[in-house]
Amino acid sequence: MRHAVVHARWWIAYPVALILLIVLDLAVRSWTPLPLRLPEQYSPTYLRLVLSDIPRDRSTTVLLGDSVLWGYKLRADQTAAAILQTSDQSTRIVDLAYEGGSTVNDDVMLRALRRVGVRPATVIANVNIKEFNPGDSAYSTLHPSLERLSEHALTPGDSNVLDLHFRNSDLNRILNDDVESIWRFYALRSDLREQLFGSDDAAGALLALVHGVTGERETEAALHVPTPDRFLGTYDLTPIGADNVAFTYYRSFVDRLCRNRIPSLLFLTPTNHQLLHEYIDDPNYDANLARLEHIPHCSGVRILNWDRAIPPRYFLDNDHLNPEGQRRLAQLISRALHDK
Amino acid sequence: MPDPKQSENIEWGDARTVITTGTSDPIAAAWYLTSNRIWPLIAHPVRGPFLLGIVLFLLIVAMVLFSPSTESHFIYTDF
């Protein structure tokens, strides 16, 4: 008697895997992030989703700026943005500040907002004088995700003066972009890792865990206690002129706000003068602050000098604020918005 | 030829017995589980390809999630 031999159809494994990947991708595509603030690391796709999810009505206030407004070393709910949102539920606060922000980034981010049709009711931005120092990491550098999101909209002028990372396309980049364009799960991989591991990647999370167990984290924290010598060279007292890239983009940012008739509140970032006394308590520093405060601007844009507005005890370091500092900053912003 | 379900003349019963009672012959136990419990699932002409598809899917997802981060990393030099 002959037995019928049933051959397994192994090729079925491929469509099964593909169907599961499509189901996963549909689930990921239903994720519409509109976070209290941007995460530490975010992908161009994530930023595009955040920008497209911003309400188009006239009740949206957008915050632009750097880690001071983002809330360095603080929880999202301790930031000035969160405090402002809690105190005024009628306005939707969208905090687009991030670590590594600067006026260069603000200008390009505003262009990105306008491209997707967002015209905020108000823009609030901090202007940090340290980022006008050519030695600063954000002086002429865009956040990689903002750069990639905006790369087709950057002008030749931008390419000439900005330190761009993705100027050249190689095969790896082309393949990567193609896969990202069709596979959302892959495009959002850095954001998913951030959500899953609370870190850039699994290795980073594991390292943090090991450092926590071995006590290395406390040792590192002790080594990073801010002392004045750490800020040697952070602030450039050379007069800020037209050849300064950050200044050029600052002026462009203010012009763009005026042209688009967006009411705006720009403030010079509060700074810890007690910690930085030997470097910044100097007439040249104040002259630079005056240059930033008094650039030509329309009546809809207000530029306020809050450099000395917050007492030293509310700082974590040179300019980052502790929770009480953020609360005071929120009060200053709220008062300024009501006084207009 | 020794009975694959026996080791040192002990009746294995099923996989649960091995796990709950422990054994002085873990290699035989592992072999039994692999050859008599797991492999039949994989080798099954209908269930096998579906199982392999799921494994393939999990491998791809794990590769994406557990690969080291090199993208969108802004080097923040505060100090």
pLDDT digits (tens, 9 = 90+) for B24-45: 688 888 888 888 888 888 888 8
Say if strands A60-64 and A92-95 run parallel, antiparallel, or are unpaired. Answer: parallel
Q: Chain B residue closest to A148 (CA)?
A: B72
Residues from chain A that touch B69, judged by Cβ atoms under 8 A, are 41, 190, 193, 200-201, 204
Q: Chain A residue closest to B57 (CA)?
A: A17
- Res. B60: pLDDT tops 90: yes
Q: Chain A residue closest to B66 (CA)?
A: A202
Q: Please give the helix or strand (H or E) that residue A92 lies within, else none.
A: strand A92-95
Return the structure tokens found at A21.
């990947």
- Res. A102: pLDDT tops 80: yes
Residues from chain A that touch B44, judged by Cβ atoms under 8 A, are 8
- Of the pLDDT bands very low, low, confident and very high (cuts 50, 70, 90), residue A40 is confident
Q: Chain B residue closest to A138 (CA)?
A: B76
- Of the pLDDT bands very low, low, confident and very high (cuts 50, 70, 90), residue A204 is confident
When CB atoms are compared, the residue of A9, A21, A144 closest to B49 is A9
- Res. A244: pLDDT tops 90: yes
Q: How far apart are CA A159 and CA A108, in angstroms?
A: 12
Identify the residue among B60, B71, B75, B76 best suited for mutation to test binding to A, counting A beta carbons within 10 A and taking the highest: B71
pTM across the whole model: 0.84
**What does the pLDDT read at residue A315?**
97
Average pLDDT, chain A: 92
Residues from chain B that touch A72, judged by Cβ atoms under 8 A, are 78
**What does the pLDDT read at residue B7?**
53
Delimit the domains of chain A by residue range.
35-168+234-338, 199-225
Residues from chain A that touch B79, judged by Cβ atoms under 8 A, are 224, 226, 230
Contact, A105 vs A143, CB < 8 A? Answer: yes
When CB atoms are compared, the residue of B45, B54, B67 closest to A20 is B54
B60-68: list long-range contacts, CB under 8 Å, 24+ apart.
B60/A17, B60/A21, B61/A21, B61/A24, B61/A185, B64/A185, B64/A186, B64/A189, B65/A189, B65/A192, B65/A193, B65/A196, B65/A202, B66/A201, B66/A202, B67/A189, B67/A201, B68/A201, B68/A203
Residues from chain A that touch B61, judged by Cβ atoms under 8 A, are 21, 24, 185
The domain A35-168+234-338 belongs to what CATH superfamily?
Answer: SGNH hydrolase (3.40.50.1110)
- Res. B19: pLDDT tops 50: yes
Average pLDDT over residues B59-77: 74
Q: Do B68 and A203 touch (CB under 8 A)?
A: yes
A16-19: list long-range contacts, CB under 8 Å, 24+ apart.
A16/B49, A16/B50, A16/B52, A16/B53, A16/B54, A16/B56, A16/B57, A17/B53, A17/B54, A17/B56, A17/B57, A17/B60
Q: How far apart are CA A113 and CA A90, in angstroms?
A: 21
Q: What is the pLDDT of residues A255-290, one digit of tens each?
A: 999 999 999 999 999 999 999 999 999 999 999 999
> In sequence order, what are the residues at sequence separation of 6 or more whose Cβ sits closer than 8 angstroms to the Cβ of residue A197?
A204, A205
Least confident of A150-164, A244-258, B21-35: B21-35
| Helix extents (H) in A188-271 | 189-197, 202-214, 216-223, 245-259
When CB atoms are compared, the residue of B49, B67, B73 closest to A16 is B49
Least confident of A113-127, A135-149, B19-33: B19-33
| ipTM topping 0.90 | no
> In sequence order, what are the residues at sequence separation of 6 or more whose Cβ sits closer than 8 angstroms to the Cβ of residue A25?
A183, A184, A185
Q: Do A6 and B45 touch (CB under 8 A)?
A: yes
Residues from chain B that touch A185, judged by Cβ atoms under 8 A, are 61, 64
Size of interface A-B (CB pairs under 8 A): 99
Return the structure tokens found at B73.
């990393």
